[in-house]
Amino acid sequence: MSPLEERIGYKFRNPLLLAEALTHPSVGHELQRQHFDNQRLEFLGDAILQLVVTEYLFRNFGTEAEGQLTKLRSRLVSRETLKTHAAALDLGRYLMMGRGEDASGGRERTSTLADAFEALIGAIYLDSDLETARKFILTQASHDLDQLAEKPVDINPKGHLQELLQSISAHSPVYEVVSQSGPEHAKTFVVKAVWEGIVLGEGTGRNKKQAETAAAIDAMQLRRWERNKSD
């Protein structure tokens, strides 16, 4: 087994899948020719991660409403959380990337490590099955899952959304009032969360703060920034 396989507790039947998961897109860019990279495996791994975490929360937090389950899931699959998992495996050391990307700190970059972790999940799934991928995910997330059971509600939706987006871009989301209606003592505010020209979500509340929080929760449910990333 390779050192990384020993770390993750899984030996690949097809080593090319592991190589693909560890190949950053900068390799192809630097070679100026077509070269496999981990973007497709990242796409697959993200979907598997979402499924496994969603199923776990559904089974283990039976009294929580949909909105709260969404908050908990967002916490477990945030880019920062995935970066932490990747760092624990020392994944950055094993990545293949272009010299320019390497020199600019790519091995420690949040988005790079999070993408590689998702790609690794996709590779394990293709090399084995869903149950093996589930075991890997839940093992890596065991500490976070334990903390979640102890403190399931300590989350700031606006802060969490900002953290998610700043792992992708230097820009932060902004909140714009769409409308306000009703008498002064019982106004209703509608606010939209906007990031890089994309309306990520919309929320309603009795004051601007409540509406902004609702818009952030809506944004985390819709995850429109991911569609934009893939376009």
Catalytic amino acids?
46, 118
Spatial separation of the C-alpha atoms in residues 208 and 230, rounded to whole Å: 32
For 19, list phi and psi in degrees, rounded to 5.
Answer: -60, -40
Residue 39 in tokens:
């973007």
Spatial separation of the C-alpha atoms in residues 75 and 228, rounded to whole Å: 21
Q: Are the C-beta atoms of residues 219 and 161 closer than 8 Å to each other?
A: yes
- Classify residue 182 by burial, with Cβ atoms within 10 Å: 0-12, 13-18, 19+: exposed
Spatial separation of the C-alpha atoms in residues 24 and 161, rounded to whole Å: 26
Bridge partners (DSSP) of residue 25 are: none
DSSP assignment of 76-124 equals HT-HHHHHHHHHHTTHHHH-B--HHHHHTTGGG-HHHHHHHHHHHHHHH
